[in-house]
Structure formats: structure tokens, C-alpha cells
A and B are shown apart, each in its own frame.
Chain A
Amino acid sequence: MGKLHVTTTVNGEPMEFLCEPYETMLDALRGQLGLTGSKEGCSSGDCGACSITLDDRLVCSCLMLAAEAEGHQIRTIEGLATGEKLHPLQQKFLEHAALQCGICTSGMLVASDALLKKNPDPTEEEVRFWLAGNLCRCTGYDKIVRAVMETAAEMREAAR
């Protein structure tokens, strides 16, 4: 079988690419599309470093075939900031130093953004459960959870 032609939308931009039927969305993002912000950690859906949204639903791009993107809306870490202006979550992660090596960070940010869109006022427990699918071996999670909680509070304040 030859390559498949996929027409999709990535971070609001129409995009096309060719892929093998067995290639994952993560392969296509990092390869054909040159969007290397999504990271490959485990390739088995355990670590969350490759988190993206598919039609606003949080998924691991390593557990999705690239061909499944046909006709759908994909959002990645590259779509989080607005031009040079960082998303409040990105800003707060910096202020809290909520990262060390950075491998998990884009997944953490994409997952946290998906959480705050669904629930703008999460408890700490809800944040910790939501981010249970994002592994970080450096920070011990505390700074990450605090950064998400503070961002949520500031975004709620700004929305008033």
C-alpha cells in the first residue's frame, strides 16, 4: 500500500502531509510537519510527553495514527502561545521554575490547558488527578501543580 494523503488542521492552519498507514500522529508532527515540541517519551501512552488535542480532546499523539487526523482539528504545544506572547500557563511555569529538563513540559502545558478549558477552577486534587498521565522525573510535581493552580486563579480573575 502506498502512502496516505492526509488533510487536516494543525493549530488553526490547514495542513497536508503524506504518511505510512502505520505511522503515528507523533511521527507526522515531529517528522513531516516539523513540529518537534511534542516529545516522544515512552511510545506507549504512559508518560504524556506527546500530549496534543484532537478536536479539543486531550490525547497521546503516540497512540493515534497519523491518518486519523484527516478532517480533524489538531492542537499542539506550538499553538499555545500567541505569537511572541506566552500563554499564562507558560509564563507561570517559568516563574515557578516548574520544569528542569523540559522533556515533559510541553505535554504538561497541553494537558493543563485542556484541564483549565474544561474546569477553570480545579482543586489541587483535581489538578493532580488530571496530570496523572504526565510523568515528570525532575520536579516532584509540586511546582507544576502550584503553577497550574496559580494560573487558574489569575485567569479566573482576568475573566471577571
Chain B
Amino acid sequence: MVQMRSGLVRPGLIVDIKKIGEMTEITETADGGFRVGAAVSGMELSEHPRFGKVWPGVLEAVNLIGSKQVQGRASAGGNLCNGSPAGDSVPAMIAAGAVVTVQGPSGRREIKVEDVPAGPGRTNLKSGEILVSFTLPPRPAGSGDAYLRMIPRTEMDIAVVGIGVSLTLKDGVCTAARVGLGAVAPTALLVEPAGQALIGSRLDDAALEAAAAACRAACRPIDDKRGTVAYRIKTAGVLLKRTAAIAAKRAGGH
């Protein structure tokens, strides 16, 4: 809408896809996962009785997109397709292991969230394809997720660094972990070595430092008015530790 208003895009045709049920529904899948329509607004997601209990990190990331007014309209689908490296919901969805369903003229396909962005403002969706929904996997007992971002203000700002962590603990040992990293590269990233560094550990200082180092190593940031390269890289490591701590606390609370 904003790009249309400013003349940046001039669509020949506008199609409202919000009246397609699948685009706006939140359903729990038979195996205990969630399907979230690509056009479900942040406010609708926050009002769902179960979603935020199972995926608090994804919800807090989606709810960071813009103001309350924007939350009434903005969706994780739009956030992903906007292709911004700093989109808040993207690292959290990557950490969650979410997969998107894409509908095109010749059928459907599924893509991992981390494979959707192609660069700033660009996605790997083909011409004629639309994002239909996110599928989040079933959640084992002892799982938790969290999203933190660094912004210079307290609200309504664009991430300098954003990190989503999703992990599972069994008897205090981490059995699964995924880390999504945003705003430090041309696209949001899945940092597999960071997850690997946590798996098998009791989230002790050495494991957290190894995961933080993996995040720092994955950074390919730009220097801009929001943060320098050095600042973003350092912050990525700091945020990894803080985010993992919140995710672990939530995992323990299950």
C-alpha cells in the first residue's frame, strides 16, 4: 500500500486475497502443529487461545511489526514477502522450522521459510505465485522459543539485529535447537552451527559462547545509520545468549 501510494509500484490489477478462507485461518493440524494463513494479522494471531502458548517467540516477533494499527492488518506473510532482511517475524519463523505453502498457476509447493527471501526486497517466489500459509511443526514437551531484537528505541523501530531461538530440553539437556538471525545479512539466515552448538549441551556458558560465535561468524552486515558492522556482529552474539536463555526458561515451564 505504501509503495503504491508513493508511486514505487504501479499495479495494473489489485486482487484482494483475504476472502480466501485458507489465507486468514489459524488451524491446529492433526499432528499437533499449526497452520497460519499468510494474511492472518498480528492482532488475530495474538487473540488465538493456543498459538501464543505453544509458540510465544513467533508471536512476540509477529507482534513487533509496527504499531497497534499496523498489527490490525500486517501479517507474517506480508512480512516475509516484503523481503526485508530486518523483518521481525522471519528469524522467529526460521527458528520454529516453519514451512510455507505457495500456490501458483501450475499447483502448490512447499518451501522452508529460510529459502523464501532472495535478497533485500526480493523473494524466490515465481511470477504468479502467492504465499498461502505457514505450517509450524508439532511441539515436543519441554520446548520453548523466543525472539529478541536490538533497536535504539523502545518501540516502532527496525531491527539492528534480530534473533529467534527455538529449542527442546529433556532433563536439562538440549535435544533440538534452531537459530534464525535477521538484519545482519542480505536475507534472514538459518544459523545451523549455532543450533548444533547448543544440542547435547546443558546450555552452559561454553555452549552458549560457541553458539554466539557461530552467530557472529554468520553475520555479513552492512554499515548504516542504525549500526556499524562491528556493532551488529557483537550484538548478534550477545542477543543469542539472551534469547536462548528466554527460550530455555519457557521450555522448562512446559
Contact = CB atoms under 8 A, between A and B. Distances in A.
Given A43-B5, A45-B2, A63 B155 contact: no
Contacts of A60: 69-70, 73
28 contacts: A24-B1, A24-B5, A43-B5, A44-B2, A44-B5, A44-B6, A45-B1, A45-B69, A46-B67, A54-B72, A57-B43, A58-B69, A62-B5, A65-B14, A65-B16, A67-B16, A68-B16, A111-B68, A111-B69, A115-B68, A129-B155, A132-B68, A132-B156, A133-B66, A133-B67, A133-B68, A133-B70, A134-B67
What 5 pairs between A and B have smallest CB-CB spacing?
A133-B67, A59-B72, A57-B72, A132-B155, A60-B69
Given A48-B67, A130-B68, A133-B67, A63 B1 contact: yes
Interface string A26-70: 000000000000000001111010010010011110111101100
B4 A22 contact: yes
Nearest to A70: B16
A52 to B, nearest CB: 9
A47 to B, nearest CB: 9
Contacts of B69: 45, 48, 51, 58-60, 63, 111, 133
A19 to B, nearest CB: 12
A102 interface: no
A65 B67 CA distance: 19
Contacts, number: 65
Nearest to B73: A59
A65 B68 contact: no
B66 A45 contact: yes
A21 interface: yes
Given A58-B68, A65-B16, 9 more contacts: A45-B66, A51-B69, A59-B73, A60-B73, A62-B1, A63-B73, A64-B73, A67-B16, A130-B68
A124 to B, nearest CB: 14
Interface in A122-154: 129-130, 132-134
B14 to A, nearest CB: 5
A129 B73 CA distance: 17
A65 B69 CA distance: 15
Interface in B65-82: 66-70, 72-73
B49 to A, nearest CB: 15
Interface string A93-118: 00000000000000000010011000
Nearest to A53: B72
Contacts of B5: 24, 43-44, 62
A114 B69 CA distance: 10
Interface string B28-62: 00000000000001010000000000000000000
Contacts of A114: 68
A134 B156 CA distance: 11
A22 B72 CA distance: 20
Contacts of A67: 16
Contacts of B1: 24, 45, 62-65
A24 B14 CA distance: 13
A114 B66 CA distance: 17
